[in-house]
Amino acid sequence: MRIIDTIPHPQLRISIFSMNDKYLVKIEAGPYEQVYKVDQMEIEGLNALKALINDDFLEEVATVFRSMHTANPWK
Range of the domain at 38: 2-71
From first to last of its 75 residues, what are the pLDDT tens digits of the chain? 899 999 999 999 999 999 999 999 999 999 999 999 999 999 999 999 999 999 999 999 999 999 999 998 887
Tell me if 26 sits within 8 A of 7, measured CB to CB: no
**Reported pTM:** 0.92
CA–CA distance from 44 to each of 15, 33, 48 (Å)?
18, 25, 6
| Distance in Å from the first CA to the final CA of the chain | 30
Domain count, the chain: 1
A 10 A CB-CB count for 13 gives 14
Measure the CA–CA gap between 34 and 30, rounded to whole angstroms. 11
